[in-house]
């Protein structure tokens, strides 16, 4: 009888310890999931900041080209575009889309804007201006 009670008590103690261990494991997994979600949000915020900075610099460079004429203006715009394209390529390497999950409507609109903005990179002059304006207008809706 004493052996039976000892075995039963041992099994009970192990079962309770196992429950606590499983609860702790669940909390650890939950904490890990929250950390991953926060990292994803941070990466997306960093991407937004990098993209906005590059676009501001590109817009400023294009405005400086507006005072020029003819081939000087075209060369200035080409240099500005090349710099913008290189900066965006670097940003896309640093912040790949696979690391930024689209969870909200804003994220999905932002992804659509980025895709539209990439299509504008192949254009020049007034066509590029119109493409950028259209992409921004759709994003701001």
Closest residue by Cα to residue 117 from 35, 27, 32, 54: 54
Q: What pTM value is reported for the model? A: 0.60
Q: Is the dihedral of CA 25, 31, 33, 36 positive or negative?
A: negative
* Best CA proximity match to 81, nearest among 134, 46, 120: 120
Predicted local confidence at residue 4, as pLDDT = 66
Q: Please give the pLDDT value at position 13.
A: 65
Instruction: Work out the average pLDDT over 52-63.
Output: 90
Mean local confidence (pLDDT), 46-70? 88
Contact at 8 Å (CB) between 136 and 110? no
Sequence-distant contacts of 105-114: CB under 8 A, at least 24 apart: 107/44, 109/139, 109/141, 110/48, 110/139, 112/138, 112/139, 113/138, 113/139, 114/51
Say yes or no to pLDDT of 114 above 70: yes
Instruction: Indicate whether 73 pLDDT > 80.
Output: yes
- What is the Cα–Cα distance from 22 to 20, expressed in whole angstroms? 5
Q: Does pLDDT of 111 surpass 60?
A: yes
């Amino acid at each position: 009888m004493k052996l039976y009670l000892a075995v039963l008590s041992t099994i009970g103690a192990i079962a309770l310890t196992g429950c606590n261990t499983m609860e702790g494991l669940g909390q650890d997994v939950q904490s890990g999931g929250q950390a991953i979600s926060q990292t994803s949000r941070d990466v997306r915020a960093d991407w937004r900041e990098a993209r906005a900075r590059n676009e501001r610099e590109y817009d400023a460079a294009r405005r400086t080209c507006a005072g020029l004429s003819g081939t000087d203006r075209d060369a200035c715009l080409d240099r500005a575009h090349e710099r913008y394209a290189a900066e965006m390529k670097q940003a896309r390497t640093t912040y790949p889309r696979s690391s930024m999950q689209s969870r909200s409507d804003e994220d999905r609109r932002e992804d659509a804007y980025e895709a539209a903005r990439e299509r504008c990179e192949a254009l020049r002059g007034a066509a590029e201006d119109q493409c950028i304006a259209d992409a921004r207008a759709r994003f701001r809706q």
